[in-house]
Chains A and B, each alone.
Chain A
């Protein structure tokens, strides 16, 4: 039998069993809206599926039934016993048809116009008409109007056929003659489909799982005993037991897990049929079908997924002509994508259709009283889109058999939230819509990294771990401290670190251990390191929720039992990120945030050191410019030429203050930022080091004051960005001016062209390079640089940014290499992310070298290398 058909039969039989029960409840409680909409939904689903499978007889009955139920749901009619009887009769007809379908894999001949007629009559407002004298077709085997009070229990896999159900129900005079040979034939085959798969209570699986865990533990103990004995007759059988146990464990685990592809299996067919019915061209793409989901979760999201794909096909994708007119390909695409992320399973359903109709949603929101004009005016487009998740909200202009009866996104949302998930939606007019379903892994099996900190073991979901770094006091990678904040230099980036010991208050930090391990974790776009003492293996674990009294500890996402039988807490990287300053966005802000976040991710994020010095706003300086943070004893400050200096690492280090009028105190301790350049160091005196933040740098207000680049919003506050270059020149000019000139004499008057769209970098590089003895010219775009070339300007070296509006750095470099004037001028790329791939691409485009932004030393040495190689070549 067709897979689709057999699944439909199993599913529908189950739905019908539910319906029987619900209808009885409805009769006792005729106006319970929740009950009504549930019944309606089930019938709606049956009708919809019938349509796709090409079962016209079933569909017709279900459609008529749905119309009646729709009236009940909308409160236009009350459910009277007579009406309920008619509904039950229709259900029995459906069951009969299903039974025939199962037996013969085709709908039986015959028609139901009489029943449909009565249903329509009822929907039309007439009191439920009594069952008319029935034609003697074998199709009439159904037991009509059974007494509801005698409904059977909703057993799993009921496979109710008319014949099987009939004797259990109160017989009516009509029924007696309904017993036809056809019914008998059906009875014999009734369980054919049911036998292929059985439905098992999840509790039973849970119990099995528990027992298997116990078995594994016992096995482990036995194996341990065995290992301590040299020769044992138990050896071979125990080995076998061990293997069987492992397989059993895997098997039981598998009973709970299924690839999401199982839920997608019928979608291609549905989409194909839909595209025929709607005369659209639709391509369905599915990625990540192998992503495993807990069975229970899968069941819960199956219907929502189908609904959403149907919606995309029906509302989202436009007619081919419309698409062509909008300049899109005639074939619309619906994309399904499933993957694991940060301890969640993400399922995306996207289409490239017309997006949501904002005006229609507004009208509907007004009509249904969900919002008034002023509410709507104050809302963003994305906020208005959220209305589609409200109950009874359908914007389809006409009720089609595909969608548009108000069974929709509200159900989707309810179902997903039932399993602790979220659904978000983004829609762009003319470009399409995308739904993102996020389901927590609470029920799923995850691979976890086991780490140790202060003698306690913890599990970290492998999914959020990017890499592991070993840091030792005398090794290349060491943990450095900025005030009390540990950081790690990792491939030209400064990684903020979180000490697990401190975070979880696992006792005082005693002696620094010789070596520690950093678990580099990622949450969204935020990357940070977790300091642990030891790293063990990875283990497959089943996440179990923590006891209710511990739920408010956000650091843990659950706990589990390891193979050795011990309980272990599972760390939640999201919680840790949130607890260490990176605040997760609340749901309401999320939608608006997402579009912005995407933009931002493309741009640079800079690590900034925030500090206070003198008066006014907090100040910030790019972290990468700072060599070290120190605290000096003010009593050791000496004066030379009336300028404050301290002895630092065997040398004199000039101290500079932000405000020239600021007087350095006489005693106590003072934090300073140490800027180093070759053997020279300079200390910038500050009052307090506040924080390190990762921020997208955007200079809001440019300032004309020396020493300041401008103001930016950092960590939510207006902050002055200091021009480190300015203070460097202050120290150098005053102190090392003469030597400086000597040292860089050979590079004096070398001309450097800086191409960068960011005023911040231009401002930063100019003083830096000037100090190093270069003559600096800056331009804000590649076009401007090329016009300088045309104007006949010559430079010894060009420094160019990669990401620039208009012509980017790669294009710029290859263009320059084609100009006769500049083709031999070395070009150094300046970029915030220097991956090996970028490097190769840069070289191919004509760059001589690649330097990370903010890396002063590397920039200067690269420049001088580039120049010397040029000299060598010349």
Chain B
């Protein structure tokens, strides 16, 4: 589990109205959050079938209890280098428009309940690709958490060409 989050308000109980819950994930040491209600499952590494001619972000598809799930490599999506060899990642399965997608990340942390006053808009200087998929920032004590907009993550068509 991610050390950075030890200091984060981990209280999952009694979610006040201004609190939002996120499954925290880490990609290249950056903390992200996916709204908890969108998360269906967390998976250990799976056997993935490559899909030729698919966009580079699509790592392939896998069988999740009889359903075919499309795997998205978040590192590729965020224009990050691939994971160092020998490190296996995790996947977070999200529902988008009735279809399941498995977002491949480095590691999955705990569920965080974050109050609205910690929320922040995207800084203007954020990389356009990151800004594209970010819903906003939460200021945690020792680190910053980027809220992933799942719909944006899965939409490669309108990505900005800057890299």
Contacts and interface: CB of A to CB of B under 8 A. Distances in A.
Contact of A549 (B47, B53, B55): B55
A213 B58 contact: no
B44 interface: no
A547 B49 contact: no
Contacts of B65: 210, 214
Interface in B53-94: 53-55, 58, 60-63, 65-68, 70
B123 interface: no
A559 B66 contact: no
A567 interface: yes
A830 to B, nearest CB: 44
B55 to A, nearest CB: 7
A550 B63 contact: no
Interface residues of A, number: 27
Contacts of A547: 61, 68, 70, 99, 101
B45 interface: no
B69 to A, nearest CB: 8
B36 interface: no
Contact of B52 (A210, A456, A544): A456
A560 B61 CA distance: 10
B54 A567 contact: no
B66 A569 contact: no
B160 interface: no
Contact of B68 (A504, A555, A556, A561): A561
B49 A566 contact: yes
A549 B58 contact: yes
A559 B58 CA distance: 15
Given A547-B70, A549-B70, A549-B156, A566 B54 contact: no
A544 B63 CA distance: 12
A544 B68 contact: yes
A553 B54 contact: yes
Contacts of A457: 49
Contact of B61 (A214, A548, A559): A559
B53 A211 contact: no
A613 B150 CA distance: 57
B88 to A, nearest CB: 19
A506 interface: yes
A506 B58 CA distance: 15
Contacts of A569: 49, 51-52, 61
Given A213-B66, A214-B66, A567 B58 contact: no
Interface in A535-553: 544, 547-550, 553
Contacts of A550: 51, 54, 58, 70
B49 A549 contact: no
Given A547-B70, A549-B58, A505 B53 contact: yes
Contacts of B159: none
Contacts of B51: 550, 553, 556, 569
A544 B69 CA distance: 11
A253 to B, nearest CB: 13
Nearest to B55: A549
B61 A211 contact: no
B129 interface: no
Interface string A583-595: 0000000000000
A806 interface: no
B50 interface: yes
A125 interface: no
Nearest to B62: A567
B154 interface: yes
Given A550-B51, A568-B49, A210 B66 contact: yes
A152 interface: no
A211 B66 contact: yes
A569 B61 CA distance: 9
Give the interface centre of A209, A560, A567 by most chain B CB atoms within 10 Å.
A567
A552 to B, nearest CB: 9
Interface string A559-590: 11100011111000000000000000000000
Interface string A484-506: 00000000000000000000111
Given A210-B66, A559-B61, A559-B68, A505 B101 contact: no
A461 B118 CA distance: 55
Give the interface centre of A214, A456, A569 by most chain B CB atoms within 10 Å.
A569
B58 A565 contact: no
Contact of B53 (A209, A555, A568): A555
Interface in A191-243: 209-211, 213-214, 217
A233 to B, nearest CB: 29
A544 B100 CA distance: 13
Interface in B124-163: 154-156
A544 B61 CA distance: 12
Contacts of A549: 55, 58, 70, 154-156
Given A210-B66, A211-B66, A504-B52, A567 B61 contact: yes
Contacts of B97: 548
B53 A567 contact: no
Contacts of A456: 49-50, 52
Contacts of B68: 544, 547, 559-561, 567
A536 to B, nearest CB: 15
B93 to A, nearest CB: 13
12 contacts: A209-B66, A210-B65, A457-B49, A547-B99, A549-B58, A549-B70, A549-B155, A553-B54, A560-B68, A567-B49, A567-B68, A568-B49
The 10 closest A-B CB pairs, nearest first, are: A504-B52, A213-B66, A210-B66, A547-B70, A567-B49, A567-B61, A214-B66, A553-B53, A561-B63, A567-B63
Given A210-B67, A504-B52, A567-B49, 10 more contacts: A547-B61, A547-B68, A548-B97, A549-B70, A560-B68, A566-B63, A567-B61, A567-B63, A567-B68, A569-B51
